[in-house]
Amino acid sequence: MPHFFILDVKSDQRVKFIDITAWVRECSAGSGVSEGTAVIFVPHTTAGITINENADPSVPRDIIAGLAGMVPDWGDYLHAEGNSDAHLKASLLGSSVTVIIKDGRPLLGTWQGIFFCEFDGPRNRKVWLNIAGV
Amino acid sequence: MPHFFILDVKSDQRVKFIDITAWVRECSAGSGVSEGTAVIFVPHTTAGITINENADPSVPRDIIAGLAGMVPDWGDYLHAEGNSDAHLKASLLGSSVTVIIKDGRPLLGTWQGIFFCEFDGPRNRKVWLNIAGV
Amino acid sequence: MPHFFILDVKSDQRVKFIDITAWVRECSAGSGVSEGTAVIFVPHTTAGITINENADPSVPRDIIAGLAGMVPDWGDYLHAEGNSDAHLKASLLGSSVTVIIKDGRPLLGTWQGIFFCEFDGPRNRKVWLNIAGV
């Protein structure tokens, strides 16, 4: 039987990356799964999720700046809510990440952390986590 | 034993997003899996898959327009078939999405739908779906 | 019990795509899993992974060129290591791909291969592979 968890995330800016690695570690420990996989899923269309460096805060800041340079806030867009840039950024980073669980822990590289990526905040958001294995 | 399904998709334009959410729901119901995960995989190199808003058709339209602005049709490309933009867009959105199955249903946010993303049509395409769980 | 494998990858240029499809096939055969899924995960923050055409070497070359056009080497970046472009490219392509295993083999389209994507080499890197199923 897989284990399912929900996290409430509150973003306080329009664009903001929020480190949720500690929560994934806690859920993993709580699940009792030793070997398996975790799917971390964002049920929103103007937010995404990514794995990147969580040691130097300049890294998520630079990813946000780089995305802003690639995806104009206002372009050849029709969607009336004016947040088409946020929808595109959500699709570029994706709605889920998958992490291997080994020896009861999410297996991440030395510098890797898991970030919830707000692109159209501030908002109250959810993150879903499914852990399956033995 | 996981459950495997194939969908035939026919795109009628060079670039087109096709909503396949209803098919994923049907397969999920047919699989009899109550708790698990679904992997939806596109076996092509000039098409991808994404999860985004399927309420307002302007959203996929704007994602297509935004990608076209970021990735020029013709640039510093060597590939002789002239569809390098389509290969890059396929890698940016990715070849698969993973969705959590809960209570026998794919767990999606209120506004989320699953789109097959044609970047070099019109073509006849396939989508593969694997549902695993209990 | 899932099966876990590690690959050592050595990149010899700053940006380089390395085809690891044959390794995934070998591990899949070695795992004895007939039906399931494989998660291929890159534990680095300046490298990613993608599935795209591995027949014509111009395709990965053009994806690299297209990404370089979209993401400037030097932009409005603060991260002191000067490799913010590599962090952003890693998040754009993603840290993992998931492949369906069927009849004991990773199920890929005719033209698809799996590429480890170095964005800040040359370096010694790892790729992790988890295969689960029956």
Chain mean pLDDT for chain C: 96
Chain B residue numbers with beta carbons less than 8 Å from the beta carbon of C92 are 92
pLDDT given for residue C28 in this prediction:
98
Query: Of the candidates B131, B132, B124, which has an alpha carbon nearest to the alpha carbon of residue B43?
Result: B124
Domain B4-133 carries which CATH code? 2.60.120.460
Chain B residue numbers with beta carbons less than 8 Å from the beta carbon of C56 are 79-80
pLDDT given for residue B73 in this prediction:
81
Q: What is the mean pLDDT of residues B106-114?
A: 98
User: What is the distance between the alpha carbons of residues B103 and C133, in angstroms, rounded to a whole number?
Assistant: 21
User: What is the distance between the alpha carbons of residues B60 and B54, in angstroms, rounded to a whole number?
Assistant: 8
**Contact between residue A38 and residue A133 where contact means Cβ atoms under 8 Å apart:** no
- Minimum Cα–Cα distance from B109: chain A residue: A43
**B62/A90 touch (CB, cutoff 8 Å), yes or no:** no
**What does residue B110 show for φ and ψ, rounded to 5 degrees?**
-50, -40
Q: What percent of chain A has pLDDT over 90?
A: 93
User: Would the pLDDT of B87 be above 80?
Assistant: yes
Q: CA torsion, points B94, B2, A39, B99, in degrees to nearest 10?
A: 60
pLDDT given for residue B76 in this prediction:
82
pLDDT grade, residue C127 (50/70/90)? very high
Whole-angstrom Cα Rg for chain C = 16
pLDDT given for residue A128 in this prediction:
98
User: What is the distance between the alpha carbons of residues C50 and C97, in angstroms, rounded to a whole number?
Assistant: 7
Q: Give, for all 134 residues of chain A, the pLDDT tens digit.
A: 999 999 999 999 999 999 999 999 999 999 999 999 999 999 999 999 999 999 999 999 999 999 999 998 877 899 888 999 999 999 999 999 999 999 999 999 999 999 999 999 999 999 999 999 99
* Rounded to 5°, angle at Cα A117 from A111 and A119: 145
What is the pTM for the complete model shown?
0.98
pLDDT digits (tens, 9 = 90+) for C22-74: 999 999 999 999 999 999 999 999 999 999 999 999 999 999 999 999 998 87
What's the distance, CA B121 to chain centroid? Answer: 14
Read off the tokens for B124: 């006849």
Which of A50, A93, A100 is nearest residue C128 as measured by Cβ atoms?
A: A100
Phi-psi category of residue A108: left, alpha or beta, with phi > 0 → left and psi -120 to 50 → alpha = beta
